[in-house]
């Protein structure tokens, strides 16, 4: 049972598993994770069971995503996010970013204000307040992170295009180093292009970009 953002905000946890055998690593930090990894390597059956559970979970999440209809109104969208599993929030924020507008957040803030300043507050209202506050924080931070990621991606594309189209690549790279424009985002995007060229059997293009990558690394680590 996965937790929705609303349930997590209220401190409601999933029930304990019926089976005493659990292939997941116990809480305990780095040492526990190492022991878990060793156990998987030694136990082929446990490893296969873990992979089977992982495939089932991925299929469950895919089916859940496809089954969820996008709401039409802001109140419905609020309930949609409150019912969204915590691990699915990043996906849903990216998918519904155009709907997370100032109007949406103003509506959330209005309901929060009404709950906070209510003359008499019931247990249901207290729970609703906690849920909305948690949702508001998660969605605000999530949209900010998504917008920054998108801006970084656009900038990385522009910078990579500048490098690939340059007639004097060395001078261009030196100029970009001085401006602190050779970032890991540019390198990651170049790696994606190289992988795509290799998968498409474009050997010359892949080799060309790999040479650029090697040169970039020299300047980035200089």
The predicted-structure confidence for 187-220, as pLDDT tens digits, reads as follows 999 999 999 999 889 999 999 999 999 989 888 8
Gap between the Cα atoms of 39 and 174, Å rounded: 49
Q: Tell whether the model's pLDDT for residue 58 goes beyond 50.
A: yes
Which among 137, 139, 118, 115 is positioned nearest to 127, based on CA atoms?
A: 115
Burial of 172 (0-12, 13-18, 19+ CB in 10 A): middle
Residues in a beta bridge with 85? 4
Q: What is the pLDDT of residue 16?
A: 44
Q: What would the two tokens of residue 71 be?
A: 């709401």
pLDDT of residue 115: 95
Q: Which helix (H) or strand (E) holds 57?
A: helix 44-67
How do residues 81-113 score in pLDDT, each as one tens digit?
Answer: 999 988 889 999 999 999 999 999 999 999 999
Domain ranges of the chain: 28-149, 166-221
Mean pLDDT over 36-65 rounds to 77
> Which of 4, 3, 6 has the alpha carbon at shortest distance from 130?
6
* Structure-block tokens of residue 30: 């780095």
Q: What distance in Å separates the CA atoms of residue 175 and residue 43, rounded to the nearest whole number? A: 54
Q: What is the pLDDT of residue 222?
A: 57
Say if residue 14's pLDDT is above 90: no
127: left (phi over 0), alpha (psi -120 to 50) or beta: alpha
> What's the pTM?
0.65
């Amino acid at each position: 049972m996965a937790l929705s953002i609303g349930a997590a905000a209220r401190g409601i946890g999933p029930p304990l598993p019926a089976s005493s055998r659990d292939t997941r690593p116990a809480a305990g930090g780095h040492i526990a994770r190492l022991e878990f990894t060793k156990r998987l390597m030694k136990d082929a059956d446990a490893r296969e069971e873990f992979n089977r559970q992982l495939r089932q979970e991925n299929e469950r999440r895919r089916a859940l995503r496809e089954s969820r209809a996008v709401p039409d109104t802001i109140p419905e969208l609020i309930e949609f996010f409150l019912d969204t599993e915590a691990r699915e929030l990043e996906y849903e924020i990216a998918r519904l970013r155009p709907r997370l507008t100032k109007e949406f957040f103003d509506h959330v803030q209005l309901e929060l204000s009404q709950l906070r300043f209510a003359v008499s507050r019931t247990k249901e209202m207290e729970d609703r307040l906690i849920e909305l506050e948690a949702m508001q924080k998660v969605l605000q931070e999530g949209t900010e992170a998504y917008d920054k990621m998108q801006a970084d991606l656009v900038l990385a594309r522009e910078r990579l295009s500048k490098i690939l189209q340059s007639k004097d690549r060395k001078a261009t790279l030196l100029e970009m180093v001085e401006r602190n424009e050779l970032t890991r985002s540019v390198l990651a995007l170049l790696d994606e292009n190289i992988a795509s060229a290799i998968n498409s059997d474009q050997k010359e293009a892949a080799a060309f970009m790999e040479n650029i990558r090697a040169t970039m690394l020299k300047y980035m680590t200089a």
